[in-house]
Chains A and B, each alone.
Chain A
Amino acid sequence: MSDVSSDGILKGVKELSLVHKLSMHLGVFVILIGGWELGSRLGYVNELIMPPPTAIGYRLYEMFFITGSIYWHYFVTMFEAVCGFIIGVSIGLSLAVTSAISPVFRRYWAPYAVVFNVTPGIAVTPFIIAWFGFGWSSKIALAALVCFFPPFINTLTGLLYIDKDATELFRSLGANRKQYFWKLQIPSALPIIIAGLKLAMTGALIGAIVAEFFSASEGVGILMQRFAFRLNMDGSFAALIVMSLMGLSLFTLMEYMDVKVLFWRRHSRMEEVSKKRKAKWSIN
């Protein structure tokens, strides 16, 4: 998973030049899409089940550049997912920190978080709609519910499993609880916390879209469903691609944060930061 040191996960893949890599990606993409299009044109693929890529492409073009209808839906779903993410992560992190600090809390309250997690979040959707109504808030609530657990469990694990020698070092230096928390526990746990945030981001998007499927008047989820009900397959697929786009942009954001924050896990970043710290150093 992403909490593994990032250097060399892909060691097996030979390093190629950027142009070479891009053309490889493009080649694979063209073969896939071309094969699909050809299959449709030659009548091997039923257009009602799998519309040809050109039709989907046209539909996307229409949504983005002719009617511009997609932008509002895109914004709504993104907003719901991101709000849900922020709320879910805040809850997950607070629970984790409280559990890490207080063994009593951990023992008697944290198990409920686990029960919560093993209950399929999606099955709770009807309740959420009943409690929060048909507007955006129910989508945000479901997104938050679905995504709070990974940050919770990852953060708790990260905060509790601290190197024994490092703990002893801090004790021998006379560190207080606060120093121990901020200078050792949090930085040690950051890699696994960020891995949890990445999972939460995907979860939040799923939560928002599923809640939209249930009942909504705006958002990419309901847009897709409307197309599907009208058997408008190119529209449905176009909406699906928009969802992928959303997922991709959120994921990219998280990756960016990962690279920024966890500089000590990547050699190139370490060199950069090392230079910066050197430039900033002054005796006074």
Chain B
Amino acid sequence: MADEVVIEAKGLTKAFTETVIAVEDAIFQIPKGSFISLVGPSGCGKSTLLRLIAGLIDKTDGNISVRNAEVTGPRKDIGLMFQKAVLLEWRTAIENVLLPNEIRGDVGPEAKQKAWDGLQLVGLKDFEFSFPRQLSGGMQQRVALARLLQTGADIMLLDEPFGALDEFTRERLNVELLRIVDDPEITTIFVTHNITEAIFLADKVFVMTPRPGRIAAMIDINLPKPRTIEMETTPEFNALIKEVRDVLSGHLDGAPL
């Protein structure tokens, strides 16, 4: 059911050094199929939190489990996307999309068909055999998105996936991304700097504050779905923006950004 917990953290802490505590005492439960936005100022520990969930780094303390199993390393059901596309320059778009299959050793007709379809889905028809250097930044991110879908992961950890792109392209890609992850089976954590975007997309917004990196608030977004651009001007929406801002500025009072 919708209430099945997929990701659970209890007292999760990551300290790089004694003074650099990137994540402190994080406690949350993320239900299956939900979309979580993670906002917070630069350096507050958002990427670190995602890396902990993805099993890419070890925690210092506490617990983090996915599907009731302690995270000890990378998992097949978790897919990641970064600010950069991170494509292999010597591979064509479709060869990049097939990388997850190659690593698992299952490059068959099915995988190839899926990669092909994936590229059509992200709007890269006719660019299947282009090399990354022949593609624009936005197109490269689309390839990265197709590669993410190719992993078959149903937990998507997206770290400012379009942050390096211009405003227009970012907005368009966000809409497409939403369409794809709008699936009751897919659980998403989406890191962004943009509060409006965070609220617009999410079921719940986690607001993080720095030094030490803490989840200062978890705000439920009870706006009806599907969301429309018009909602962004409603009083409810503005109240939510204010709520997030207050958490952030409450913390930042007097502190340097």
Q: List the A side residues contacting B129 at CB < 8 Å.
A: 274-275, 277-278, 281
Nearest residue (CB) in A for B99 is A173
Q: List the B side residues contacting A8 at CB < 8 Å.
A: none
Do B131 and A171 touch across chains, with their CB atoms under 8 A apart? no
**A window 56-105: CB within 8 A of B:** none
Complex Cα gap A271–B131 (Å): 9
- Please choose the segment from A28-36, A161-169, A213-221 that sits at the chain B interface, where 4 or more of its residues have CB less than 8 A away: A161-169
Nearest residue (CB) in B for A184 is B88
- Looking at chain B's contact residues, is the secondary structure mostly helix, strand, loop, or mixed? mixed
Complex Cα gap A173–B79 (Å): 8
Binding site for A on B (CB under 8 A): 51, 54, 56, 74, 76, 78-80, 82, 84, 86, 88-90, 92, 94-95, 99-100, 102-104, 109, 112-113, 116, 128-131, 133-134, 151
Complex Cα gap A203–B227 (Å): 67
Do A283 and B86 touch across chains, with their CB atoms under 8 A apart? no
Chain B nearest CB from A121 CB (Å) reads 34
Range for the number of chain A residues in contact with chain B: 20 to 34
In the complex, 5 of the A-B residue pairs with CB atoms within 8 angstroms, ordered by the A residue number, are: A168-B82, A173-B151, A273-B131, A274-B134, A277-B92
Complex Cα gap A155–B51 (Å): 30
Q: List the A side residues contacting B76 at CB < 8 Å.
A: 174
Complex Cα gap A144–B74 (Å): 44
Q: List the B side residues contacting A267 at CB < 8 Å.
A: 133-134
Do A172 and B88 touch across chains, with their CB atoms under 8 A apart? no
Complex Cα gap A170–B100 (Å): 9
The one of A173, A187, A273, A281 in contact with B100, judged by C-beta atoms closer than 8 angstroms, is A173
Complex Cα gap A9–B14 (Å): 46
Do A172 and B78 touch across chains, with their CB atoms under 8 A apart? yes
Q: List the A side residues contacting B104 at CB < 8 Å.
A: 173-174
Do B113 and A171 touch across chains, with their CB atoms under 8 A apart? no
Chain B nearest CB from A283 CB (Å) reads 5
Q: List the B side residues contacting A275 at CB < 8 Å.
A: 129
Instruction: Encode contact with B along A259-284: 1 for CB under 8 Å, 0 otherwise.
Output: 00001100100110111011001011
Complex Cα gap A270–B74 (Å): 34
Q: List the B side residues contacting A169 at CB < 8 Å.
A: 80, 82, 86
